[in-house]
Amino acid sequence: MTVRPLVLVLSLTGAASALAQDAAPNFPVLPPPAMGAAAATEAAPIDRVLAGDWRSEANKARDAYRHPRETLAFLGVQPGQRLIEVWPGGGWYAEVLAPLLRSQGQYTAAVPRPGKPGDNTAKANDKLRATFAAAPAVYGTPAVVEVDPKAPVLGAPGSADVVLTFRNAHNWVMAGNEAAMFKAFFAVLKPGGVLGVVDHRARPDQPAAEMKSSGYLPQAYVVKLAEAAGFRLEEASEVNANPRDTKDYADGVWTLPPALALGEKDRAKYQAIGESDRMTLRFTKPGP
């Protein structure tokens, strides 16, 4: 989930919901395999989910940037796990993860608690619940848990196998509650549990002040943040890397798709760059 700085930080989920409708890639994208009866029987669970007809064509097109099959494989996600996605925003990954765990496991969406009834965050949370409720055959019975970002508790201590968050760490840095969030991840995971973090990767020499405005974070900063909470870095992947991203835009990461903050100005240029260069990190909670 990616939002603009300042006031929009207060409505993280609402902004992300809007972003989910943005432009598709401007280069050819191979479609997922057709899911005829024979193929559906033989395909791996993740392939069946990615080819699901509940996913919009625009969302499927973004697989070329977000690499869900490879990303989830790297993070060790599989049926049977108790998985929490933190700040799912518009639900791009929720519509993959909840069906994947529908028959085996449990998917929980941890969403920010609204500041007041009816605000953008409340509307986004209600929309996610409505999406799940409208298609129980697809999603099963996922849980939606509202969390206070200033004093986050994601569930009972040691109750989750996996915690995932996609493009949210920069928002917590901007809001100043990143340490509390990572401590909450550590608390809810069982010993040996996995934390997966994907976010916009800054240049190593990015001035610290830009973390509050650009949307990019130095990878080393995120690693230190997780280690300070007690995690151990297992591995970093380049599956979501994008060397075309120069990371020097006046409007920060929101200059690129899907936000395209400049509108039609240099639109083709930014679409050719594609979505941001992203770190993909797998941490574990040490245990016996």
- Domain span at 155: 6-25+62-284
What CATH number does residue 208 fall under? 3.40.50.150
Q: C-alpha angle with apex 209: 5 to 257, nearest 5 degrees?
A: 45
56 within some domain: no
Q: C-alpha angle with apex 52: 185 to 70, nearest 5 degrees?
A: 50
258 within some domain: yes
81 within some domain: yes
Contact 240, 198 (CB under 8 A): yes
31 within some domain: no
Q: C-alpha angle with apex 148: 144 to 154, nearest 5 degrees?
A: 50
253 within some domain: yes
Domains in the chain, number: 1
Nearest to 121 by CA among 131, 111, 130: 111
Q: Classify strands 189-200 and 278-284 as parallel, antiparallel or unpaired.
A: antiparallel
Exposure b/e, 187-213, CB count within 10 A at least 16 = b:
bbbeeebbbbbbbbbbeeebeeebbee
Query: pLDDT tens digits for the chain (288 residues)?
Result: 555 543 333 333 333 333 333 333 333 333 333 434 343 445 689 999 999 999 999 999 999 999 999 999 999 999 999 999 999 999 999 999 999 999 999 999 999 999 999 999 999 999 999 999 999 999 999 999 999 999 999 999 999 999 999 999 999 999 999 999 999 999 999 999 999 999 999 998 899 899 999 999 999 999 999 999 999 999 999 999 999 999 999 999 999 999 999 999 999 999 999 999 999 999 999 987
pTM listed for this prediction:
0.86
68 within some domain: yes
Tokens of 269: 């240029």
53 within some domain: no
160 within some domain: yes
Q: Residue 19: count other Cβ atoms within 10 Å of its Cβ.
A: 19
